[in-house]
Amino acid sequence: MANFSIVLDKRTKKKSGKYPLRLRVTNYKEVRFISLGTDYSEKEYDLIFNKTPKGVLIEHRNKANDILNKALRVNEVLNPFDFKRFKELLKRTDPEKRKKTLFIEDLFKDYIEKKRAGSRIKTAGSYKTAMHSLLRFRSPLMITDITSEFLYQYEEWMIANNNGVVSGTIGIYLRSLRAIINHAIQTGQAPKDYQYPFTKHLYIIPAQRKVKQALKKNEIETLINLTDFKSKAEERARDLWMMQFYCNGINLKDLLLLRWDNQVENCFVITREKTKRTSRANPRPIKIPIIPRLNTLIEKIGKKNSPYVLGMIREDMNEQSILNKKKKVAKLINQNLKTIGDRLDLSIDLLCKTARDAYATSLKKSGISTDKIAEQMGHSDSNVTQYYLDGFDDEELMKLNELLPG
């Protein structure tokens, strides 16, 4: 079995006083070297490979590690090992000619590329962040390294790097890893004898469920009836929040993508962007009734000269451009909403996302069933809706406990 390492070859000293950096290949008792085309002094080598590099030196170590990782991948497809063939494959750069491997980095990159090709830019970015976190913990990393022991060690490392707090980020990253491994198993890339670690007997991804809080009824009414604004930007932010609220609590991206031709008689009929792909076999269109209050808002801030109700999106915009626009708009709206919320002394921070919570809890307090609320919000499972309904405000909690005898 061949082994590899990056070494400073001190057998040959250049006139500059530096030594060539080489890949050392050890196959049983045979040792061969491959030049990496770079020379370093002993001090430079020590700073890059034996200490924590800074600045441009990080790139030097990353480049060397890339070569080392590639050597490991090439070695995997050679049986038996042949140095000449190894050298040829190591220098090959065409990704189409490289055999798929069981390295987690390769599996992630392949999955990310598929998401990007399907215009799922945000999902691709999330998986990329998860990949970088896992590789910071251990690299190189193969699918066979993903055991229950590894997962517990990674969890402890994440907690240690988050001041001892069990962050929800752990679950996000590990669910991405689980999806990658599930995909590898489904496509036959995983070894047949691989022991799947994500089971209740081996490792369960930690779940963190925050206690949800929603605006009180009187706070929502105060916000809706507000007329004292400090700027036009504040009024527009409030109006857009109300648009979300009256449009069944849809998120900001869905609101920006709302089109005039989505109107069917007295309703807008849309499919949530978030669930378009997952609900293709059983599409769940949402009907948004255009009640008088919503119609007033549309007349006030709608753009009739655009195919989109709010006129902030163009038809020639790709997915990345739409996401960039959504982020920019959300930042401006949230800045002004927070200012309004602080001035009104609301019980929670006023943000775009609170419109969805407010819609769900308002219907709940009006006696509407969870199943009906789920239908209005476009949830495929009423358990998801229940998450939005779990937050009792403090006044309700006080009333409950006041019922206790004593």
Q: Which residues contact 281 (CB under 8 A, 6 or more apart)?
A: none
Condensed to tens digits (0 to 9), the pLDDT of residues 62-77 reads 888 889 988 888 888 7
Q: What is the mean pLDDT of residues 304-317?
A: 93
Q: What is the DSSP string of 131-181?
A: HHHHHHHSSS-BGGG--HHHHHHHHHHHHHTTTT---HHHHHHHHHHHHHH
Q: Closest Cα partner for 268 from 241, 295, 240?
A: 295
Task: Provide the residue count of the chain.
Answer: 406
CA dihedral sign of residues 223, 229, 232, 233: negative
pLDDT of residue 398: 54
pLDDT surpassing 60 at residue 60 = yes
Q: Closest Cα partner for 26 from 61, 75, 70?
A: 75
Amino acid at 29: K
pLDDT surpassing 70 at residue 20 = yes
Q: How far apart are CA 64 and CA 71, in angstroms?
A: 11
Distances in Å between the alpha carbon of 82 and those of 1, 76, 120, 345?
11, 12, 41, 72
pLDDT band of 400, cuts 50, 70, 90: low
pLDDT of residue 95: 45
N- to C-terminal Cα distance for the chain?
A: 76
pLDDT of residue 363: 81
Q: How far apart are CA 396 and CA 239, in angstroms?
A: 28
The pTM of this model reads 0.56
pLDDT band of 280, cuts 50, 70, 90: low
Q: What is the mean pLDDT of residues 310-315?
A: 92
Distances in Å between the alpha carbon of 101 and those of 73, 190, 374?
6, 9, 43
pLDDT surpassing 70 at residue 308 = yes
pLDDT surpassing 80 at residue 350 = yes
pLDDT of residue 282: 58
Q: How far apart are CA 155 and CA 153, in angstroms?
A: 5
Query: Which strands, in side-by-side order, build the sheet including 19-27?
Result: 2-8, 19-27, 30-40
Amino acid at 223: L
Residue 94 in 3-state DSSP?
coil
Bigger pLDDT: 342 vs 29? 342
Q: How far apart are CA 321 and CA 324, in angstroms?
A: 5
Strand partners, 139: none
CA dihedral sign of residues 391, 395, 397, 400: negative
Q: Closest Cα partner for 247 from 374, 377, 391, 383?
A: 377
Q: What is the mean pLDDT of the chain?
A: 84
Q: Which residues contact 351 (CB under 8 A, 6 or more apart)?
A: 334, 337, 338
Bigger pLDDT: 390 vs 190? 190
Condensed to tens digits (0 to 9), the pLDDT of residues 133-161 reads 999 998 888 898 999 999 999 999 998 88
Q: Which residues contact 189 (CB under 8 A, 6 or more apart)?
A: 100, 102, 107, 143
Q: What is the DSSP string of 26-47?
A: EETTEEEEEEEEEEE-HHHHII
Q: How far apart are CA 361 and CA 328, in angstroms?
A: 28
- Give the whole-number percent of the chain exceeding pLDDT 90: 38
Most confident stretch, 86-95, 140-149, 277-286: 140-149
pLDDT of residue 319: 84
Q: What is the mean pLDDT of residues 275-287?
A: 64
- Which DSSP category does 275 fall into? G
Q: Closest Cα partner for 255 from 331, 312, 215, 214?
A: 312
Condensed to tens digits (0 to 9), the pLDDT of residues 315-332 reads 888 888 888 899 999 999
